[in-house]
Structure 1
Amino acid sequence: MNMLYILLLSLYLSSCTADDPLGNFCNENTNINSTSQVSLNIDRLLAEVVSKTSLTGYIAISSGKAPDKVYGLAQCRGDVSSKDCSTCIQDAAKQIRQSCPNQADARIWYDYCFLRYSTQNFIGEVDTSNGILYGNVANVTDPKSFKKQLGALMDNIRSEAVMPNTQGLGKAKTKLSPFVTLYALVQCTRDLSKINCAQCLAIAVENFENFCDSRKGCRVLYSSCYVRYELYPFFFPLDSNNGTSVGKTVRIFRP
């Protein structure tokens, strides 16, 4: 049975950096010895992930032979530079081994990238079993109009994400008023088919209604896709419009 853990965080734009992990998941049912062959295969896999991911912003690989074979996937957010991608993946590879030193199934989320590995072959499968949600605690002033415009914007970028040559990425903005702009971004991991990508994004967006109803910002991070909207620019290229302040957020972890 899934459970929700809620933690109030005082996160401000000035204190948030791309270097900070948004969260991680260490599967305690997959404990291994640090000297085992699986652990060695993980280290080899991470070395390859670090050296190759930034070339295209994505990698899906395996290391070793059965029964100790390890599968891995890493992906950067589609709008970030190769330099930022490389830095993020390096941080992720280091931090995931520190956070999950004895688990054969682990994932870590950053603002700019995502990394996971497992002894089970997950490549191509939709995974929404574990996720992290961030929601701004402040609400919009006109929920009915906001939901309508957010829904239309999300429909557009979800359609974009499953189009050829978009590599699972969709992003756009829309004016809510002369002074307020809504920004949104969605992305699937590139191993997913169009149908699986659409399915993952649909599940992720459902959380807007359940956990971020009428909030000024929300992020949903799964192992297979990522969705986010804000009332300030957060994807590249950045607008000169600073929008509204970030304020406090609620962090929810779904194991």
Structure 2
Amino acid sequence: MQPSQESLHFQPHFISHDSLYKSTKNGLIVRELKESTKKKNMDLLSHVLLFLFLFLFTIPAKSADPLSEYCNTNTIISRNQTSANIDRLLSQLVSGTILNGYIATSYGKAKDKVYGLAQCRADVGRKDCSTCIKDAAKEILKRCPNQADARIWYDFCFLRYDIKNFFGEVDTSFGIFYLNVENVTNPKTFNKELGTLMDRISSKAVVAGNKGNGRDKTKLTPFLTVYALVQCTRDLSPLFCSQCLAIATENFQTICKNRKGCRALYSNCYVRYELYPFYFPLDSDSANASKAHHVSVVFKPQVS
């Protein structure tokens, strides 16, 4: 029987352009971030909004609370058949994920055809996976009722659908980062050990049979261990999986520099490290988890 995981996460705060001034005065830092890349097959946005909201307390994770969602407002559902096909697709995504932990499939024909992908974290048991993906299928329709391109992230699973075929493509145009607000006391040693650990588990993720997942830990001192996990969606080739993980870990060096913990969620990969056990099977020592404070960082594509 799988142990019940208690991970730490916070709901990202999204704000409209009309509320920027008020929200900034209330402590929400708004910043525009510019990115560029020459990597082939990378579809990175040149402009994204960076939102930070500081939480001074922790909130226990619940399966019914998604980490975030993305509803593409440029893909409004205009045909009843498309909406009906999304409902049927979601049913297939739920059953397929419960059975295999992952599914990428499509439903419908011509203009009404929809593509979907769902996946649970490879270390999560079937019961938790089943609960998570069922919640995701219900919640995504509530949060993105009129969008044909929708995505939803949970700690244990991820689900998306679109009217465009996205299978096998790397998409880092939208991402969520969760940061521990505390810094490590020995950043030089910590960052060196973390980099080595990330390289090691990223190499594991692209090995056939590992289902795009790599996880491991490194003991920093007799009393301190860093735990890390990476995972790609299983439709990606090893090359594209490596590219997605490289983008996520590269952002760690700036967004999460010297932090005690960080989590990155993209549509194709998930990367996380903490100074407490969070992946299964859990280590017995999880005392540090209750002391963690986090800040959420949201990359949100600009709408033209």
Q: TM-score range by the shorter chain?
A: over 0.9
- Report the CA distance shift for 1:11/1:66 in structure 2 as closer, same or farther (over 3 A): farther
Alignment gaps of 5+ in structure 2: 1-46
1:121 and 2:165 correspond = yes
1:6 and 2:52 correspond = yes
Aligned to 1:101: 145
Aligned to 1:31: 76
Aligned to 2:103: 59
Contact in 2 for aligned 1:132/1:221 (Cα 8 Å): yes
Distance, in Å, in 1 between the alignment partners of 2:254 and 2:120 is: 27
Alignment gaps of 5+ in structure 1: none
Aligned to 2:180: 136
Contact in 2 for aligned 1:233/1:243 (Cα 8 Å): no
Aligned to 1:86: 130
Contact in 2 for aligned 1:186/1:228 (Cα 8 Å): yes
Give 1:166's match in structure 2, choosing from 195, 210, 216. Answer: 210
> Cα distance, 1:134 vs. partner?
0.3
Aligned residues: 253
Contact in 2 for aligned 1:181/1:243 (Cα 8 Å): no
Which 4+ residue blocks in structure 1 deviate beyond 3 angstroms? none
> Cα distance, 1:29 vs. partner?
0.5
TM-score, scaled relative to structure 1: 0.96
Contact in 2 for aligned 1:232/1:243 (Cα 8 Å): yes
Aligned to 2:276: 232
- Report the CA distance shift for 1:17/1:10 in structure 2 as closer, same or farther (over 3 A): farther
Contact in 2 for aligned 1:134/1:249 (Cα 8 Å): yes
Contact in 1 for aligned 2:63/2:135 (Cα 8 Å): no
Aligned to 2:229: 185
Pairwise CA RMSD:
1.2
Identity over aligned residues, as a percent?
61
Contact in 2 for aligned 1:88/1:113 (Cα 8 Å): yes
Structure 1 stretch displaced more, 1-10 or 88-97: 1-10
> Cα distance, 1:36 vs. partner?
1.5
The secondary structure found in structure 1 opposite 2:110 is coil
> Cα distance, 1:10 vs. partner?
4.4
> Cα distance, 1:149 vs. partner?
0.4
Give 2:92's match in structure 1, choosing from 48, 51, 70. Answer: 48
Distance, in Å, in 2 between the alignment partners of 1:66 and 1:252 is: 38
**Any residues of structure 2 matched to 1:210-249 within 5 Å, and which?**
210-245=254-289, 246-249=291-294
The secondary structure found in structure 2 opposite 1:67 is helix
Give 1:76's match in structure 2, choosing from 115, 120, 133. Answer: 120
The secondary structure found in structure 2 opposite 1:50 is helix
Counterpart residue type for residue 6 of structure 1: L
> Cα distance, 1:17 vs. partner?
2.7
> Cα distance, 1:247 vs. partner?
2.3
Aligned to 1:197: 241
> Cα distance, 1:242 vs. partner?
1.4
> Cα distance, 1:119 vs. partner?
0.3
